Amino acid sequence: MSGIYHPTVASITLRATLGRKRALLFGLPAVILVLVTLAIKAAHPATSGWVSGILGDFGFTVVIPLTALIIGGSVLGAEIDDGAIVHLLATPVRRSTVIMTKFVVASALTMLLAGGSELVSGLIATGGATKLAMGLFVGALAGSVIYNAVFIMISAATTRAIAVGLLYVLVWEGLLANLVGGVRILSIGHYSLGIANAIAHDSSLHAGLSLTTAIVMGAVVTVAALGVAIQRLASFSLRGDAL
Amino acid sequence: MSADSAMTDGAPRARGVIHDRGYRRYEGPRLGRVQIVRALMWHSFRSALGIGRGPKAKILPVIAFVVMCLPAFVNAFAVARGAPRIVTYQSYLFPLRVIVLTIFAAVQGPELVSRDLRSKVLPLYFSRPMRRGDYPLAKYLAFAGACLLLVELPLVLLYLGTIASSHSNAIWPNTRGLLGGLAIGLLWAVVVSAIGLALASLSPRRAYATGVVAIYFFLTLTLAQIIRQIAQQGPAPFPPPQTIPAGARLASLISPFTTVESITQWFAGQPKRFQPAGPVPDPGSYLPAYILMAVVLLAAGFAILAVRYRKAGATS
């Protein structure tokens, strides 16, 4: 099988990722997003501006990146961490196939959890399939894909994927992208917001990028990240734990 | 070899005999529990800062300290040029402190506890005259010490820089500010390290421990800030205190960072001459709720650690 998707690798990854207690951790941000939405909805705020605050700001800068970080960082990172990756690399599966399969699995899981909770929260918050809810859902799906590509790249390139990814999410996405305008063009959170805004047309989302820019840059980042990840895995050598 | 010779010497009943092979015994003083805890604490404190470890382990602590101290140096230059002090003692730079502490706790906390769980060395620790509670106590004191250093060192540098480069003679107000800042910094370190270390100890895998700590700190912080903004109707800077709705005053309870910062804001007092707006509103009459929350966080951290290490090592 020489395609980009290998079903056996996918099923092993899925089982290794979801088969443990830590799977609860993946769903935690998603569950919190829904609960918070329910709580605020129950409190009947005066204006509807809160929807983009919770679903846009909180959802796109915290829930999606953190869910993607833990999932994307562990589909490949966990195997590298405990050395099981050598068994996979010893099989005649192309390394690009390994990366692509893991990317597909991680993206699908993140879409399901983070995207799903954005959708549910959006439906609850706006009271139906409104443009805002749909826009946020589509933006969340796009964000899940791009974030996972980056986190898989990070876990192929470093031994401490979660720590590096966390640094990136907190400092780059959380701090710089909102303070320094120019960083937006390299911020996945803003790509997702740009895509969401193209459907929702809601100024309270504070989307800084147009749809075309967001899609083009998002695609470029995804492809580049996956390319680097394949490159790194192709020249992979097992290193010990960082002391 | 010696067992074989014992058998062939015609004494089959003397099985399992321990032969004195003449090795030298240790006859010096045996240090007790206190010294073990102290040694473990010192070792953990050093490893939290990356001292005595490889160069890779030093990267993050060094970056954290440099970034944290940077505003103090910038401030010294600004003051030397005649500007007023630009960083406060009470909050330092809240967003910076929060981000650095989150990352430090998420990366260095698991460094202290997850590795021992992962490599299953806890039975070795507990085979010494050390009680179950001593291990988490030593780790906590070490981690709290490291966080304390990270919070307080920039304040001291800020103080020294301000004093040294100030043209006006303002030693006393600065000293008073510093003492207040150091006291509140202690609260930061004690609370953040308790909850951070407790969460880190939940997973023997460093990556997931980091994830748990990061999710908790980052998620609650963002949530607290967004809910406060919603309660205030918009991300505008704070209106005068009397118009802050109760929801905005209570929203800061969600995150440990904003909880501590709210207590700071209350103690900082109403007239804010230096600061147009704090990072969180003054809790006003809700102060008891915040103090209770800080105590609850601290107690929860200790309780999780105590429960975790009652059986840890025996199971996972």
Give residue-wise pLDDT tens across range B137-157. Answer: 999 999 999 999 999 999 999
User: Which amino acid, B82?
Assistant: G
Among B59, B216, B218, B229, the residue to mutate for chain A (most A Cβ within 10 A): B218
Confidence of residue B13 (pLDDT cuts 50, 70, 90): low
* CB < 8 Å to B53, chain A: 243
Using an 8 Å CB-CB cutoff, list chain A residues near B50: none
pLDDT band at B275 (very low <50, low <70, confident <90, very high): very low
Residue A150 is encoded by which pair of tokens? Answer: 């980056």
Q: What are phi and psi of B304, to 5 degrees?
A: -60, -45
Q: How confident is the model at residue B47 (pLDDT cuts 50, 70, 90)?
A: very high
Rg over alpha carbons for chain A, rounded to the nearest Å, is 18
Say which residue the tokens 């060395």 belong to. B121
pLDDT of residue B7: 46
Judged against a pLDDT cut of 50, whether residue B1 lies above it is answered with: no
CA distances from B257 to A46, B96, B98, B261, B270 (A): 28, 12, 7, 6, 20
Give contacts of B211 with chain A, Cβ < 8 Å. 25, 66, 69-70, 73, 162, 166
Q: Enter the tokens of residue B76.
A: 């010294």
Check pLDDT > 90 for residue B79: no
Beta strands in chain A (DSSP E): none
Are A64 and A144 contacting, i.e. CB atoms less than 8 angstroms apart?
yes
**Residue B235, pLDDT score:** 45
Using a CB-CB cut-off of 8 Å, the residues of chain A touching B247 are: 43
A16 lies within 8 A of chain B by CB: no
Average confidence (pLDDT) over B243-270: 81
Does residue B242 carry a pLDDT above 60? no
Which pLDDT score is estimated for A167? 87
Question: ipTM of the assembly?
Answer: 0.83
Cβ A17 vs Cβ A109: under 8 Å:
yes
Q: B135 and B126 in contact (C-beta within 8 Å)?
A: yes
Share of chain B above pLDDT 70, in %: 86
Q: How far is A74 from chain B (nearest CA, A)?
A: 8
Write down the pLDDT at residue A243. 39
Quick check: A175 contacting B, CB < 8 Å? yes
Query: What is the pLDDT confidence band of residue B313, given thresholds at 50, 70 and 90?
Result: low
pLDDT at B271 > cutoff 70: no
By a Cβ cutoff of 8 Å, what residues of chain B touch chain A?
53-54, 56-57, 60, 95, 99, 102-103, 106-107, 203, 205-208, 210-212, 214-215, 218-219, 222-223, 226-227, 229-231, 233-234, 247
- Whether the CB-CB separation of B143 and B112 falls below 8 Å is answered with yes
Using DSSP's 3-state secondary structure scheme, residue B244 falls into coil
**Residue A175 CA from chain centroid, whole number:** 18
**Cα nearest neighbour of B230 on chain A:** A50
- List, for chain A, all residue ranges whose pLDDT scores fall below the cut of 70: 1-2, 45-47, 238-243
pTM of the model: 0.84
Measured between CB atoms, does A23 come within 8 Å of chain B? no
pLDDT at B65: 94
Half-sphere exposure for A171 (CA within 13 Å, toward CB): 15
pLDDT band at B4; cut points 50, 70, 90? very low
CA distance A226 to chain B (A): 21
Indicate if the pLDDT at residue B172 is higher than 60.
yes
Residue corresponding to tokens 């910062």: B261
pLDDT computed for residue B273 by the predictor: 43
C-alpha to C-alpha distance for B94 and B61, rounded to whole angstroms: 19
**Residues across chain A:** 243
- Hey, where are the domains in chain A? 7-234
Shortest Cα–Cα distance, A229 to chain B (Å): 19
